[in-house]
A and B are shown apart, each in its own frame.
Chain A
Amino acid sequence: MKGKLACAVLMAPFFLLLITVFLIPTGTAVWLSFFAADQPGLGFGPESTVFVGLRSYGAVLSDPTFLGSLLTVVLYCLLYIPLMVAGALTLALLLDSGVAKLRSWAQMSLYLPHAVPGIIAALIWLYLYTPGLSPIIDLFAKADIQISFLGIDTVLPSIVNIALWSNLGYNMVIFYAALQAVPREVLEASVVDGAGPVKQALRIKAPLVRGAIVTVGIFTLIWALQLFTEPVLLSQSTPMISARFSPSMYIFDAAFTRNNYGLAAAASVILLAFTVALSYGVTRWTNRKAA
């Protein structure tokens, strides 16, 4: 009885937060997506809130700008997630192998960017990317190389770069911690069997931290699908980032520029479903391979 009470007390904050910051907003979004304040005809008459069924969903899914934003974020994931996972794992393996000198210093300096809030990080990079301000662009210009970080083809890689800079160190720490749990006798056995450091890293260590890789992959995916801060800030300096660049930006634009709450709510629910489906798919896929 006492144990149950303690359990309830300890769990209460979690459920309280789950309800207030997740379930209630989600429920509101779902409700908003099915109802709208309609005026018939030209729309200048009095409003009345009516059930509109799947109308808002139909509108979102027939909007090429929304589908375009989904495509953008999928491209972003395809570019960002492999680079992130491979980069963080490589760094962790290097640190773990003992090749790197000054290990704690390296860990610290790689982790530090993660302590910078996303919005500050984007501002720093905005400065480095903006022609006329950026010392990097000036440097290239001196070498007679014209470089544009915010051009039509370079803007997505530029955003990927910001995300990598921010998150590489954090994920490296997760991999590094997982590598510490690899049994030393397994590693010793592999050395006895003649595995060099590279082979050991790829064939022994990496497979043994698979769980961590999947976790990082899924978290990165969920984070990446909500792409918002970086493109919003960069859009100040380039017209190549539209107001509906990513799904989150589309939702923001629908709600606050277009004052179209039904549309914004439906788009949010679709993004949620898309994220859940993708995460579930990735989990199922990795589990199947494990079995």
Chain B
Amino acid sequence: MRLSRRTLLAAGLTAPLAACSTPQRRGAGGPVEITFWSALRGSQQVVDAFNSSQNRIRVVFQQIPSGGQGGYAKLSNAARAGNAPDIATIEYPQVPGYAIDGVARDITDLVTDRLKQKLLPQALKLTTFDDRVFSVPLDVEPMVLHYRADLFEANGFELPATWDEFAELARTVKSRFPDRKLAIFPTDGGTQFACYAWQAGAQWFDTSGGRWRVSLADEPTRKVATYWQGLIDEDLVFSNASDSKQHDAQIGQDRVITRLSGAWDAGAQMRARPAQKGRWRIAPMPVWDEQVVGTHGGSTFAITKDSAEPEAAMEFIEWQCTHPDALTARLKSGTSSQYPVAPGLVEAGAKAFPGEYYGGQDIYRLFRQEADKIRDGWVWGPRMTATLKVMQDGFAKAGAGAGTLIEAVREAQSGTMPDLLALGLSIEEGSR
């Protein structure tokens, strides 16, 4: 017998329907099972807390490597093979890419008004494109200035409130201590640089015209690049990779006395250098003129196209992002200092965060104050990992004395446009 095309089509159509009629992966009368991938610390504790809080949904958690360490490749490959987890953790810069690739599904209809009201609107904006929501933000991370309070006090250094004061202090540090520097320009820190540009008012990507307008080297970015180039040229900052043994040594040996990174990094610092307990404090990031900041880091949860249980997945996401027990479970693991997107949780965060490392400073109050200063309107691009990688390749060269930061930014732009062109997006190149 020869199978007609119609028979084959019918078979193909009924198979998924049959699968739909009885919810997948649901045991006889048992809970709905959903899978969840994350590289975030403390996720296992959050999942355990959720699983024991109810018995309708059972979350199966898998700890995966962080995005750059292979986590994103794993997610893309799984999506291609059709077995992505129900919920994936995606950082803000990568959200548009996964949305365009169809990995993160459009969850506009699943995000209820109740949920929306609980979240900081400027964070939700970062995961909303074309009026459609593609992921739910968990934390929003204003950049802050981590500083060595002991060294500041012993030397009478004042906290720099502006970037001019920051540069001035860098000169003082250099003149007083030949082997110490105020800070590092991380040559692998595309996201830090993006944050500096964001704060200064840059608009690397703009979708308002219905097309991707790309202008990485706009005027605010040029200002920021010139500023840091000056610090590098004057030898006032280290310029090496931050994810390196070299930088670990710089911090461990007290040779770098401030760190500019997101609020989350307070927890990472605690975990990485327990011996420096009590010596660090946190202050607002220096500003130009306006009291605004950018963000550095932060994660969101997307429901993938392969999820058979999007409603259950959304229920877990909502719990994770807005329930105090979720944040408490994560912070109690002692390795996280995330600043929740839901302002209602800040109280719980401040209570759950073990404060001794920062000498009892109420860092959550500071984070809250800084989160309100996040500049509105930033948009991440469709291929952010690659864009930032090209930029960092240029930064590494600039750090070694070949080329400049602004050249690296321009290279990132010219290395991004062909990508977007080949993806078939409507594009427009802005100033460069």
Contact of A262 among B415, B422, B425 (CB under 8 A): B422
A43:B396 contact, CB within 8 angstroms: no
* Known A-B contacts A43-B382, A44-B100, A44-B129; A260 and B422 likewise in contact (beta carbons under 8 Å): yes
Which of B130, B400, B422, B425 lies in contact with A266, CB distance below 8 A? B422
Bound-state CA distance A60–B130 (Å) is 28
With an 8 A cutoff between CB atoms, is B210 at the interface?
yes
Stretch at the interface among B36-44, B112-120, B387-395: B387-395
**Pick the contact of B211 from A42, A62, A253 — CB < 8 Å?**
A42
CA–CA, A39 to B134, complex, Å? 16
Q: Is B306 an interface residue (CB 8 A)?
A: no
Contact call B386/A257, Cβ cutoff below 8 A: yes
**Interface of A (DSSP majority class):** loop
The CB with the most chain A CB atoms within 10 A, among B134, B212, B390, is that of B390
Residues of B within 8 A of A42 (CB): 100, 129-130, 207, 210-212, 425-426
Q: Which residues of A contact B100 (CB under 8 A)?
A: 39, 42-44
Query: Please, which residues of chain A bring their CB within 8 A of the CB of B415?
Result: 63-65, 244
From 82 to 130 in chain B, residues with beta carbon under 8 angstroms from any chain A beta carbon are 97, 99-102, 106, 129-130
Q: Is the CB of A41 within 8 A of B426?
A: yes
- How close is A26's CB to chain B, nearest CB, in angstroms? 20
Binary interface encoding of chain A residues 167-195 relative to chain B, with 1 for a CB under 8 A from any of its CBs, else 0: 00000000000000000000000000000
Cβ of A256 and Cβ of B426 under 8 Å apart? no
Residues of A within 8 A of B393 (CB): 239, 242-243
Mark contacts of B370-388 with chain A using CB atoms, 8 A cut-off: 1 yes-contact digit, 0 otherwise: 0000000000001101100
B387-432, CB < 8 A from A = 389-390, 392-393, 396-397, 400, 402, 411, 414-415, 417-419, 421-426
CA distance A37 to B414 in the complex (A): 23
Closest Cβ of chain A to B135, distance in Å, is 13
Let me know if B392 and A239 touch, CB within 8 A: yes
Q: Does B272 contact A (CB under 8 A)?
A: no
Whether A240 pairs with B396 at a CB distance below 8 angstroms is: yes
User: Please, could you name 25 A-B residue pairs with CB atoms under 8 Å apart, sorted by A?
Assistant: A36-B423, A37-B424, A38-B423, A40-B426, A41-B210, A41-B425, A42-B130, A42-B425, A43-B212, A43-B424, A44-B99, A55-B421, A60-B418, A66-B418, A151-B400, A152-B397, A239-B187, A239-B188, A239-B393, A240-B396, A243-B386, A256-B73, A257-B385, A260-B422, A262-B422
Q: Which residues of B contact A (CB under 8 A)?
A: 73, 76, 97, 99-102, 106, 129-130, 132, 134, 187-188, 207, 210-212, 241, 245, 382-383, 385-386, 389-390, 392-393, 396-397, 400, 402, 411, 414-415, 417-419, 421-426
17 further interface pairs, Cβ-Cβ under 8 Å (given A36-B422, A39-B424, A63-B414): A37-B424, A39-B100, A41-B210, A41-B426, A44-B99, A59-B419, A60-B422, A62-B421, A63-B415, A63-B418, A65-B390, A152-B397, A239-B241, A239-B397, A242-B393, A256-B76, A258-B386
